Structure 1
Amino acid sequence: MNPLGIHALVWAGGWSHEECEHAVRSTREAGYDILEIPALDPASIDIAHTKAALAEHGVRGVCSLGLDLDADISSPDPDVVARGQARLADALAVVTGIGGDYLGGAVYSALAKYDRPLDPRGRDNMIAGLRTLARDAAAQGVTVGLEPVNRYESNAINTVAGALAVIDEVGEPNVVVHLDVYHANIEETDFVSPVREAGSRLGYVHIGESHRGYLGTGTIDFPAFFGALRDTGYAGPVTFESFSRAVVSADLSDRLAVWRDLWSDGMDLATHARRFVTDALTR
């Protein structure tokens, strides 16, 4: 059985001590193995407290993030790139500090709608920045995942093919594909090809419905996707991700374009998702 994860924003919109404890405790109560902690603002995370909470409940912690436009390693502006590199270094410090072994997401660009294609100079900066991150991460036993996101959230990597091209150019063995079915629903031709294309370089999977709500109530072809995971022998984490304005802070909801309350009971959503994913993986 694949390790099952859940995104912390199912439980809490921030990371105060109380929110951290609630998220970790709820993750274990709902039957998940992994808690994915957003490190959008690494300085806001109390590393020692988080590590202790994870250890108390026997939950594995990993981190994800997307960069900001003023801290973007895919920018042609060296000052912006430097801020992005510093943000990634801080996020990596959170991962290692909590005892984690994975840092993924849009670690290669801002999580934002760009108004033009990726600048070739920016792409060169992105490759160099990812190579630095990967080498620093490898020294700490951390894997780096590149998550292709849809065209409205990045102009750098939108498909598995794009992620693989960047991984090849970065040339570091601890960089993997972080495949999110929500984004694949927008950018890929189907739900089988990207899994097969990623092959052994698929290292992390996000499960989310087409509208970010309850699994099985949208348009994602989950039987095809989970069938491809089984057929290819994927044994890595499968993490459920969902956002609702009822839980996520207003600022982050705006950034993620979460305009509706798709759900309000995180535990009901999480236990439903765990049953759904477990059934799909063992079918």
Structure 2
Amino acid sequence: MRFALCNETFADRPLADGFHLAAEIGYTGIELAPFTLGDPAAPGGGELRDARQLSASDRKKIKAAATDAGLEVVGLHWLLAKTEGFYLTSPDPAVQQATADYLAALAVLCADLGGKVMVLGSPQQRNRLPGVSLEEATDHAATVLGAMLPVCEDRGVTLALEPLGPAEGDFLNTAAEAVALADRLGSPACRLHLDVKAMASEPTPIVDIVTANAAHTAHFHANDPNLLGPGMGEVDFPPIYQALEATGYDGWVSVEVFRYEPSPEEIARISYANLVAAG
């Protein structure tokens, strides 16, 4: 398995500086949040609300910065964060089309940057709206994703559906629900993303979820329900890592955290050390 870091971890410094620090720690991949790609020279990359604004030159510079640091761009996550007008489960056909178009544009961006996976989490842009049932929300999501997946297939990008716990939303809360939606869509470019923090909210043990969904899993986030990195909370991470190995998973394990205490750099270093030790 290969270890990557989500780039917003180093939101206190320009993109290239964050890339070099991640590589110095030992990571070989970087996972990008589109909203951080507005200004590579600004701390945190400068906020970007519409990734379609990135020119061909911008894309080449970002990819080159990762390459210069010795990192591979894994792909994108936080796909709809900080955007406006997009919603995965909206009943409005115009919003559905706009969302499909934007996700398709992100697939192009992902490929342009050298990435191969897009993690679809973004709970604030997918939670069920008032009066929309779970069945209806699933239908709407299938409409949106069905319209953009041909672009993923064409560009060699996998859309990885991310289950999130009930504390974060009310749509796609379990691995089984995400797999069911992927099966319904029937595209080889639509698979499952697993996240330790999210899996901890399910009644099924995390190791069992990993094992049961091995054939569907395209990508993996390592973290803890306490919002810190792998091995930094109550979840016993080594058995999870070993379960991934036992299933033959050979993809990326990306560290995604939400609390940066005592500091982003220390979180990144401890997380990497714990990943290495788990193996």
Q: Identify whether the pair has TM-score above 0.5, normalized to the shorter chain.
A: yes
| Deviation by residue 1:208-244 (Cα, 9 ceiling, x = unmatched) | 1111124333221323322321221211111111123
Percent identity of equivalent pairs: 24
Secondary structure in structure 1 of the residue aligned to 2:181: helix
What amino acid does structure 2 have at the position aligned with 1:165? A
Aligned to 2:206: 191
In the alignment of these two chains, the number of paired residues is 259
* Displacement of 1:196: 1.6
Aligned to 2:4: 5
* Displacement of 1:70: 3.7
Aligned to 1:22: 17
Q: 1:214 to 1:177 in 2, by over 3 A?
A: closer
| Deviation by residue 1:40-69 (Cα, 9 ceiling, x = unmatched) | 432465423211201212211111124368
Aligned to 2:43: none
What amino acid does structure 2 have at the position aligned with 1:266? P
Aligned to 1:32: 27
Q: 1:118 to 1:35 in 2, by over 3 A?
A: farther
* Displacement of 1:113: 8.0
Secondary structure in structure 2 of the residue aligned to 1:218: coil
Choose which of 257, 264, 267 in structure 1 pairs with 2:265. 267
Q: 1:101 to 1:53 in 2, by over 3 A?
A: same
| Deviation by residue 1:78-112 (Cα, 9 ceiling, x = unmatched) | 12212222321232222122121111132797156
For 1:49 and 1:76, how far apart are their aligned partners in 2? 38
For 2:5 and 2:244, how far apart are their aligned partners in 1? 18
* Displacement of 1:149: 0.9
| Deviation by residue 1:234-260 (Cα, 9 ceiling, x = unmatched) | 11111111123xxxxxxxxxxxxxxxx
* Displacement of 1:153: 2.8
* Displacement of 1:37: 0.5
For 1:190 and 1:277, how far apart are their aligned partners in 2? 20
Q: 1:107 to 1:133 in 2, by over 3 A?
A: farther
Q: For 1:1-283, list aligned pairs within 5 A.
A: 2-12=1-11, 19-40=14-35, 41=49, 42-43=51-52, 46-61=58-73, 62-67=75-80, 70-106=85-121, 110=125, 118-244=133-259, 262-280=260-278, 282=279
Q: 1:25 to 1:267 in 2, by over 3 A?
A: same
| Deviation by residue 1:107-136 (Cα, 9 ceiling, x = unmatched) | 797156866664533322211222232221
Secondary structure in structure 2 of the residue aligned to 1:139: helix
- The answer for unaligned runs of 5 or more in structure 1 is 245-261
Task: State the superposition RMSD in angstroms.
Answer: 2.4
- The answer for unaligned runs of 5 or more in structure 2 is 36-48
User: 1:5–1:34: 8 Å Cα contact kept in structure 2?
Assistant: yes
Q: TM-score, normalised on structure 2?
A: 0.84
For 2:206 and 2:134, how far apart are their aligned partners in 1? 29
Secondary structure in structure 1 of the residue aligned to 2:27: coil
For 1:113 and 1:10, how far apart are their aligned partners in 2? 29
Q: 1:109 to 1:137 in 2, by over 3 A?
A: farther
Aligned to 2:45: none
Q: 1:65 to 1:22 in 2, by over 3 A?
A: same
